[in-house]
Amino acid sequence: MSEFLEVHRDNAQALIEESVPLAIEGQLSYADLLELCERYRIFAIASLLLDADPAALHAGLHDGACAFKHGIGRVDRRQIVLSQAAPLFDAIACRHTVLAAEIAASLAAPWQSDVEYQDDYLYYSVARQWVLAGELDAEVGQAVDALAAVASPTEPRLLVWQALRARDAVAFEGALLELLDGHERRYQMLVDRGRLLDEVAATLPFISVEGLALLRIAEATDIELEEDYPFIPSFARGDFTASFSEGAWRRR
């Protein structure tokens, strides 16, 4: 754990405080909004790592998702790149189903082939469709098939959704572990190449919010899960929604 983690958390808080008034007034671009939400995510993960406080993790993810929900309705729709919409996973991970549905509804956007890969777009499309449906219905199945048509058959993100659709706990665990291994390798590569800010390198590699979100989906699908997974501490998998305040993100 970085010796500067508390400094990184304080800096994230300061940057959030600078950006929140702009978010409230609808003056942030899509890219700016995503950066603000990353600051909430950094703050949330730093709080978990420093204080072993899962409630703070979930509150931070919730607040960032709330900021995104507020801001996304005020950005130029042409700016929306679905595969960059990590706050959708923040909302799923913190188990706020209404917030996740509101974000998913706001993310209706075509594939932008000049800035995102089609399989990345379709992966987020599956998650978005699941949130809107609240179950693994026929439309989610069609979205999974669309992803399968362009993704490698060994792509963990595809295998996760195929396992969820089949309600296959063994296949889901294998695919999730592959996805989490990819999370570790990707961040290690970025750290080794010096391509991450210090505060990002000290926080985001150590907790997989995406992985936690997929566990939430698996829970809702009644797939039997293990207690522990890499980068998803078991003590951080509780339900902390009762402590959320819808306006807390404005008061940072």
What does pTM read for this prediction? 0.96
**Token pair recorded at residue 48:** 């978990």
Q: What is the pLDDT of residues 83-94, one digit of tens each?
A: 999 999 999 999
Contact yes or no for 33/23 (Cβ under 8 A): yes
Distance separating alpha carbons of residues 102 and 183, to the nearest angstrom: 27
pLDDT above 70 as % of the chain = 100
Contact yes or no for 156/207 (Cβ under 8 A): no
pLDDT at residue 49, rounded to an integer: 96
Q: What is the pLDDT of residues 88-125, one digit of tens each?
A: 999 999 999 999 999 999 999 999 999 999 999 999 99
Distance separating alpha carbons of residues 160 and 172, to the nearest angstrom: 5
| pLDDT score of 251 more than 90 | no
Residue written as tokens 């219905």?
A: 137
| pLDDT score of 2 more than 90 | no
**Token pair recorded at residue 102:** 């509101």
Residue written as tokens 């990345």?
A: 120
Q: What is the pLDDT of residues 125-171, one digit of tens each?
A: 999 999 999 888 999 999 999 999 999 999 999 999 999 999 999 99
Average pLDDT over the chain reads: 96
Distance separating alpha carbons of residues 105 and 121, to the nearest angstrom: 15
pLDDT at residue 38, rounded to an integer: 98
Cβ atoms < 10 Å from Cβ of 190: 15
E strand or H helix that includes residue 146: helix 138-150
| pLDDT score of 55 more than 70 | yes
Distance separating alpha carbons of residues 75 and 95, to the nearest angstrom: 25
Query: Which phi and psi angles does 114 have, rounded to 5°?
Result: -85, -15
Distance separating alpha carbons of residues 39 and 230, to the nearest angstrom: 23
| pLDDT score of 252 more than 80 | no
Q: What is the pLDDT of residues 198-223, one digit of tens each?
A: 999 999 999 999 999 999 999 999 99
pLDDT at residue 1, rounded to an integer: 66
